[in-house]
Structure 1
Amino acid sequence: MNHKQLSLIASSVLLALSPSLHAQEKKSYTDEMVVTATRTEQSIMNVPGSVSKVTAEDMEKNLANDLQDALKYEPGVQVNGNGRFGISDFTVRGVSGNRVKVMVDNVEQPAGYNPGADQMRKYSNGFEVDTLTAVEVSKGPGSSLYGSDAIGGTVLLRTKNPEDVLQTGENNHLAVKTGYASSSDQYKATIEAANRTGAVESLLIYTYRDGHETKAHGDGADIEGRSRGQANPLTFASHNVLGKVYVQVNDANRVGLVAEYYTRDTDAQILSQENYDAGGGFMPGFVYTNVRGHDEDARIRLGLNHEWQANLAVADSVSWALNWQQSESKHDNYDHTDRYGNRNRYRGGEDSSTQFDAQFNKAIALSNTRHELTYGLSVVQNEFELDYKDYFLDAGTEKPGPVEVPNAKSVKYGIFLQDQLYLMQDQLVVTGGLRYDNYQAEPASSSGLSDHESDAVTGRLGAVYHWTESFNTYAQISQGFRSPTIGEMYEDKDNSALGYKIVANPNLKSEKSLAYEIGARTQGRIGLMSIAAFYTDYKDFIASQTEVVSGIQITSNENLDSAKIYGAEFASELWLDEALNAPSGTYAKVSLAYQEGEDKKTGEALDSVAPFTSVVGLGYDAPSGDWGSEVNAVYVASKSGSDWSSDTNVDAPSYTVVDLTAYYTPTEDLVLRAGLFNAFDKKYWRYQDIEGFTASEPGLGRHTQPGRNWGVNVDYAF
């Protein structure tokens, strides 16, 4: 048995038993390769920053059905949203929304759009976890590599390639996966096929899911109205198809085609709005009944890519990709009021983008040093459209709906250069990078609004020092920026008759960040450990500002706020068989994440900053690889009082949730998995789900997480 050398954990608060790897395949930082930190596949031991990586094996182990499940044990990372509109965004080290860049195979996803009304949301959440080989989260600003939106972090979803599923020596692969999750009464079925014929490799993955709403805790009131304590009833069905074909044209050239299509249909009964009086009792005719919704979300991308082993003076290798992507959300919002009768407020939104990305890599060896240069360019052209209509079903009439933002086009250009410099016989690795970005936005001429143009230069400098082969320390300073979104610049609405106006501001500046991080990684015979501390300054945050002029409330977005976020993270794994002579295959893990954040203008806390979180577990993998089990306990501290920007925000109590999973492989090709989640039926709220609520908010129970629930998966490879 070939044991990798790993290092000892400092103190363990919680134990984690992990069955995902056989005893002879223990994790090593040396073997862990990441892409987001440098845009090239790189050992994490040479990366001067924090990157969380969740593999397909990790997701299968935890019976993950979505990205919330996939990343729930990652320190400093939260996945937000639920209910009718699904996952909304990511929070990385206290920064969320469009300040975290999301990419699928380096194809950037559009900014989320949330105008505030309950009828419209457009989020980038059409992702199928069964297609993913890994999820990487690079923490801290990454604009020097990825441009706008990477002000607080970068999430890269890497889909599977044929070589990820074809075993060595195999030319064909066929597998089926099916499963059930009781938390949403969800069934799934996945078919995965791959082939290698001569110089051609191909892959096809199809996944179907259907289910219901994610349940709240079971003790909430199952009633109609604002005090409803259960999740609103919902049914959904989704389909995802991913196809890839790669041709090795010759020894130097590989060409690939990628196509992916995702669609999800949802029907919701919004019982929490039944009999809601929007007139507050003062305007008869505004009591809502028969409130329901039908949603259709879709994402399609087509891509062409080329890898060339050029061996030129300016580049050893060249890779480029041309991608087209369209994402669309359609929402039918049905209700009845005495004033309007039966009505459908249709709200639709669409993003279409064409993206080109080229990257050049060059290694230069000198007498005592070597350089790994990475440079390139990217262009993203995007079109954003809203389509709103109000249908009055009893009268058979319709009219245009109140669109908040005009249709608009935008173009982003970026060029970047990075040098990874190896010194002192590779004992010291210095990474420096620089990028220039230009952003232009053009609203429809009929809007009467002006164009926007802004640019930014961002940089990064970091170093890793290897004290020994198994221990290193690192430090990094990095910059980030975020261009204003179409919605932030061009929301424009005149409702003076109702006492308010929203005024567009195309002159918004880009948001900016400057981050400092230090850390250490070590590994040895009995385990591994990493620790990091960070401090980030943010300025020119975009926020709304309201003033009253001649009795009219006027709101506009401005570059108002500045903030700071700081904290520390710790993660470790301990091989108990090596450390304590426990049964072979037993090990433990622990991770801790601490954050603090403050609005530097007001001194108030930042609502997006997570309370102290720890994950601890204990597990066993049989040396034969036939079976294993795991227990994970997640503890989250309370967020209350001055932890919120408003002291009247309802408290988010602390909680501990325990999850149990196990697997069994009766034959080499069959894997059975089962999980019991929230095993002690804890009632709890995630802090991000009750942000902005007071203790008097009706229906708080509706926002709780599921009570005790379970899941099973069956995987069979032919």
Structure 2
Amino acid sequence: APAATAVIDSGSSTDMKRTRGSWAGEWRNLSTPAWDDIKASLSYQNADSREFIYEDRLTAADRTRDVTYQEKTWQANVQASKVLRGDAGLAQKITYGIDYVRSDVENLQTGITPPVGETFPLKRFPDTTESSWALYAQDELVLGNWTFTPGLRYDHFSIKADQAGFGANAVSLSGNATSPKLGVMYRVDPAWSVFGNYAKGFRAPNAGQVNAFFENPVGNYKTIPNPDLKPETSQNLELGVRGRLGNVALDVAAFTGRYKDFIDDLVQVGGVGTAADPLVFQSVNRGKVNISGFEVKGDADWGRYAGIGWSTPFSWGRTQGRDRTSAEPLSSIDPQRFTVGLRAEAAVWTAQLGLNYTQGKKAKDTTNPSGGTQFLNPSATLVDLTAQWRIRKDLRLNVGIYNLTDKKYWRWSDVRGLASSSGVIDSYTQPGRSAKVSLVAEF
């Protein structure tokens, strides 16, 4: 006989709405003592979603879920630049500006028959105002075949969590950092140049990592907040070469970075995956981490045939990371990728057939969470066809058919922490063959 909790009828509805407005302005050749050019931008976005679910169960109490989420975001940027010329061929371009971002996020879940141990109404994280602003400046100095680009950036972040409906567990925090950088480039000849960049990095924890909580009693797992999460800092070095080999434009770079208090998401910190001892995931700081890799990208120009320009863009990249304290690999690093395409461009239209290969995740590149049963997504090769018609200068029609072969595949970032024995693995797949059409107007 069916269990008392058997679902005999169910349904759901999802409503999503997004409004967005943006403005950008640019003023050139002003020739004042402080700037020649100024650019400014301002944007606002309001995103709302509501999901309602009901389950009619045989004799057990029926269940409903009414989940709402709202996010309002403001972004602003002002940037100025000034060109100065001196003796002995010295020229420099000074660029400076300010960035500002603010997001107000609210969430609420109500319904009947809440999960075990919970009561309605509830919040998965406190209503939060998350903001950041930064001041930056750089000076691009050109002397003969050499270009030097020193820069400096000051960042400040703030997370203000509303304790209403969440209690004392809502954590607010703020911080700041100053990050210098230096870039050097040498032009060997008109076709080739070599470059190197050093930068100190800074990444603040976000509100979800600090305060968000989620539990799935049926799946025997939960994610917990980390109120003690610290900002991440790093020192990064990049060396590379760019130029042309006949009809091929090439850009090759290798990079390495040393991180302190690296923020690693979805780390299994406890549990074995049973009802009595569910898996526990959390964002954590790793004391010392190394990340290194390379990227090759370029474009082969085949010339014009039948009035159409033909080319082959391509890219290949790989990144590896390791915790220097535990000697374990970083599971959060995505596998290597390779892309190649055939591009056709005419006066008013562009079309491209693209091949995108993503390597499957290997066990040796993970910390093997979920008690050694981590699901490892296999390799996948996708074929996409995209096109753009420039109807007029301020109006563009974009059309794309993605995953033409209807390949079943997963992204590593979606399945990390998912056990291979899970019964819902297929629910994490990406869309099969799909189409997208958009009309872009500028005014």
Q: How high is the TM-score relative to the length of structure 2?
A: 0.75
**Cα distance change on mapping 1:435 and 1:659 into 2, 3 Å:** closer
On the 8 A contact 1:632/1:660 being kept in 2, the answer is: yes
2:8 pairs with 1:285: no
- Which residue in the other structure is 1:512 paired with? 233
Q: 1:479: which partner in 2?
A: 200
Contact kept? 1:305, 1:322, Cα under 8 Å: no
Give the superposition deviation at 1:660.
5.7
Q: Distance in 2 between matches of 1:445 and 1:651?
A: 39
State the shift of 1:312 in Å: 2.5
In the other structure, the counterpart of 1:639 is 361
Shift, 1:474, TM fit: 1.0
Tell me what 1:574 maps to.
300
SS in 2 for 1:351: strand
For residues 436-451 of structure 1, the aligned pairs below 5 Å read: 436-444=154-162, 446=164, 447-448=167-168, 449=170, 451=172
Counterpart of 2:420 in structure 1: which amino acid?
A
- Relative contact order (alpha carbons < 8 A, sep ≥ 6): 1 or 2 greater? 1
- 2: CA distance between counterparts of 1:672 and 1:312? 40
Q: Tell me the alpha carbon deviations over residues 301-329 of structure 1, each in whole angstroms, 9 at most, x when there is no partner.
A: 46585747543222223444454443333
**1:295: which partner in 2?**
15
1:615 aligns with 2:303: no
- Counterparts of 1:366 and 1:288, CA distance in 2: 81
- The alpha-carbon deviation at position 522 of structure 1 amounts to 0.9
1:466 matched to 2:190? The reply is no
How far did 1:342 drift?
Answer: 4.2
Q: Is 1:370 equivalent to 2:53 in the alignment?
A: no
CA shift digits 1:143-198 (9 cap, x unpaired): xxxxxxxxxxxxxxxxxxxxxxxxxxxxxxxxxxxxxxxxxxxxxxxxxxxxxxxx
Q: Is the 8 A contact 1:658 1:679 kept in 2?
A: yes
Q: Shift in Å at residue 362 of structure 1?
A: 1.6
Of 526, 529, 535, which aligns to 2:256? 535
2:172 is the counterpart of 1:454: no
Distance 2:385 2:227 in 1: 51
Matches within 5 A, 1:211-610: 285=5, 289-301=9-21, 303=23, 307=27, 310-337=30-57, 341-368=61-88, 369-391=90-112, 400-424=120-144, 427-444=145-162, 446=164, 447-448=167-168, 449=170, 451-491=172-212, 506-523=227-244, 526-542=247-263, 558-560=284-286, 562-576=288-302, 585-610=309-334
- Contact 2:124–2:212 (8 Å) recurs in 1: yes
Which has more strand, going by share of residues?
A: 2
- For 2:24 and 2:297, locate their aligned partners in 1 and report how far apart those are by CA, in whole Å: 38
Which letter does structure 2 place at the counterpart of 1:371? Q
1:385, 1:314 → 2: CA distance? 42
Aligned to 2:379: 654
Tell me if the contact between 1:462 and 1:476 (Cα under 8 Å) persists in the aligned partners: yes
Q: How does 1:170-249 map to 2 (within 5 A)?
A: none
Gaps of 5+ in 1: 1-276, 393-398, 666-670
In structure 2, C-alpha distance between the alignment counterparts of 1:640 and 1:404, rounded to whole Å: 33
Superposed displacement of residue 586, structure 1: 4.5
- CA displacement at 1:484 relative to structure 2: 2.0
SS at match of 2:208: helix
Structure 1: distance between partners of 2:306 and 2:214: 67
User: Offset at 1:456?
Assistant: 0.9
C-alpha distance in structure 2 between counterparts of 1:701 and 1:714, whole Å: 33
Instruction: Give percent identity, aligned residues only.
Output: 26
Residues 1:596 and 1:411: Cα distance change in structure 2 (over 3 Å): closer
In 2, the alpha carbon distance for the partners of 1:552 and 1:675 equals 46
Give the secondary structure class of the aligned counterpart of 1:468: coil
Cα 1:381–1:568 shift into 2, 3 Å: closer
Gaps of 5+ in 2: 114-118, 391-395
Conserved in 2, the CA contact under 8 Å of 1:318 and 1:361?
yes
Aligned pair count? 417
Q: Deviations over 1:5-57 (max 9, x none)?
A: xxxxxxxxxxxxxxxxxxxxxxxxxxxxxxxxxxxxxxxxxxxxxxxxxxxxx
Alpha-carbon offset, residue 512 of structure 1: 2.0
Give the distance between the partners of 1:492 and 1:714, measured in 2 at CA. 39
Query: Are the counterparts in 2 of residues 309 and 318 from structure 1 also a CA contact under 8 Å?
Result: no
